[in-house]
Amino acid sequence: MHLVPILGHMPGSHCTKDIQKNITSAAQPTSSPATTGFTELQPLMAHLDLPSEHMEANDPVQPAGATTLQRAWARFLKGVSYFSGDMAAFGKWMEKQFILLQLLDWVLRGAAQVMFVNNPLSGLIIFAGLILQNYWWALNGFVGTLSATISALILQQNRGAIAAGLYGYNGILVGLLMAVFSSAGDWYWWLLLPNIFMSMMCPVVSSALASINSRWDLPVFTLPFNILVCLHMVATGHYNPYFPQVLIQPRSQMPNITWAEVNVAKLFKSIPVGIGQVYGCDNPWTGGIFIISLFISSPITCVHAVLGSAAGMVSGLALAAPFGDIYFGLWGYNSVLACIAIGGMFYALTWQVHLLAITCAFFCAYLSSAISNIMSRFGLPACTWPFCLSALTFLLLTTGTNRIFKLPLAKVTYPEKNLGFFWKLKKQEKKEKRKAIEDQVTLNDKLQLRIELERMEEGRVASEISDSKNDSAPPAEHQDTAEEVRNNDLTEVTFADYV
């Protein structure tokens, strides 16, 4: 249990998307660290079948025999906890460091937050993947994240949200995609000007959208990025002399699809490429690196990312998309994000939610096709509009079942921890229910005891009566007296029990 003190201090505000509620949520202590810390880690050690309460009780008096293995395991978990999840211990340590180092932490977390991952190590790996793809794009992404984070600081946005990278992820996407869609070629330094301006507008648009979405307890997702990149691209356009954009045109003839030509290897490769396309990268190795960065922080996120990408690829085939688009990952990236968001991030992961996430991935792929067709009329890419719209739709869904549980936005961290929160909540509910039933049962038992006692007494009284041959008292009064006796007895016994 060495890891408990480290994990127990995870600030609730560290990964929350709800900027307004941050302060209040941070103010609510999440019960005692010793009990919560362990429950939170459980999903990461699923093959550890002992119930946590049992373990806690056993821990101090572990039998000497099993100690070595368990200790090694605990040490391993402790090691894992340092760089998995949201790296809260590291975040806490960072708070006391030099501001520039902190800023670096925030930028790295921002880079990873595109995939809902609040982890600087993942962010670092993602930057490595970007550099592998294209130096110039990586630079633009970095400048974008930095500008957005600084702008959020200037506008005095919530510090917890900034530290969690929630103001950076739109910045990195704006920076990257403006570079990706520029047709002026790499190392066109003038591009940094609109890049910085648009990235600095991110916190403004984020804050404005959060004011609206918070009414429904919804996150803003990548809507600011979508709005700002589309804004820049359509404001300049393909025919702009200063900032020309790549030419995107609507399809105007039947694509030639021959199933014999399908390349299965490329189809499989399209799954990591789809994950890479979240950042506009078509290099499968970059996509693979991104998968690793996801796995480090949260295996559930990683699985859903892969499933989402696959669902997108299948949808592409079903809707007769040109194979080139599918290989290029254009059908995958929105489904990746939608599947992550629904599958464990904003809903607590159950089987029903898992199915819902996959349905959402398919719906998102459909929507992706529709939106890219519409946007192409304006020379625009689909960006991540399909993801935002489909995920928001599925998050607005209200159902009668308690197996689809939407987490309050202030409690959202990462799937494993969310699940822990959900389980704790359910256990509490169950305990309360069981207690209520037990109370009921105890009461019933007592009542039965009372009735039996009364019957015996009545028998005694009756025999006394029959003995004394005294028939003057009416039966009604007698019954009243008996009842009074019973009540008094009950009160006494109950009182005794409580004492």
CA distance 259 to 131: 36
399 near its own copies, rule: CB under 8 A: yes
Residues 263-292 that bind its own copies (CB under 8 A): none
Instruction: Answer whether 17's CB lies under 8 Å from 219's CB.
Output: yes
Closest CA to 383 of 367, 359, 361: 367
Which of 31, 58, 97, 211 touches its own copies by CB under 8 A? 211
Q: Which of 34, 319, 443, 447 binds its own copies (CB under 8 A)?
A: 319
Q: Is 311 in the site for its own copies (CB under 8 A)?
A: no
Identity of the residue, 130 or 162, whose beta carbon is nearer to its own copies in the bound complex:
162
- Chosen residue from 210, 303, 311, 382 binding its own copies by CB under 8 A: 210
Q: Using CB under 8 A, which residues numbered 139 to 178 contact its own copies?
A: 155-158
**DSSP-assigned letter for residue 158:** -
Q: How far is the CB of 177 from its own copies (least distance, A)?
A: 15
Q: Is 190 exposed, middle or buried (0-12, 13-18, 19+ CB in 10 A)?
A: exposed
Applying CB under 8 A, the span of 201-209, 286-294, 432-440, 448-456 interacting with its own copies comes to 201-209
For the bound state, the minimum distance from the C-beta of residue 142 to its own copies, rounded and expressed in Å, comes to: 23
Phi and psi (nearest 5°) for 156?
55, 50
| Pair 118, 417: CB distance under 8 Å | no
Is the distance from CB of 114 to CB of 279 less than 8 angstroms? Answer: yes
For 68-84, the DSSP string reads HHHHHHHHHHHHHHHHS
**Rounded Cα gap, residues 419 and 300, in angstroms:** 10
- CB 159, min distance to its own copies, A: 9
| Residue in 414, 363, 388 with CA at minimum distance from that of residue 219 | 388
* Among the listed residues 88, 172, 392, 412, the single contact to its own copies using CB under 8 A: 392
Site for its own copies in 236-255 (CB under 8 A): 236-237, 239-243, 251-255
Choices 58-66, 90-98, 203-211, 421-429 (CB under 8 A): range interacting with its own copies: 203-211
Residue 366 sits in the site that holds its own copies (CB under 8 A): yes
**CA 21/CA 158 separation, integer angstroms:** 10
Q: Which stretch binds its own copies (CB under 8 A): 91-99, 110-118, 225-233, 264-272?
A: 225-233
Interface with its own copies (CB under 8 A), residue from 398, 468, 470, 472? 398
Given the complex with its own copies, which of 72 and 374 has the nearer CB atom?
374
CA 431 to the chain's CA centroid: 26
Tell which residue, 2, 164, 19, has the closest CA to residue 95.
164
Specify the residue, 132 or 209, whose C-beta has the smaller distance to its own copies: 209
Give the other-Cβ count within 10 Å of 39's Cβ.
20
Please report how close the Cβ of residue 208 comes to its own copies at its closest, in angstroms: 4
Dig out the tokens for 299 from the structure: 């295996």
Please tell me the distance from the alpha carbon of residue 10 to that of residue 89, in angstroms, as a whole number. 7
Chain residues binding its own copies by CB under 8 A are: 19-20, 155-158, 197, 201, 204-205, 207-212, 215-216, 230-232, 234-237, 239-243, 251-255, 257, 318-320, 362-363, 366-367, 369-370, 373-374, 377-378, 392-401
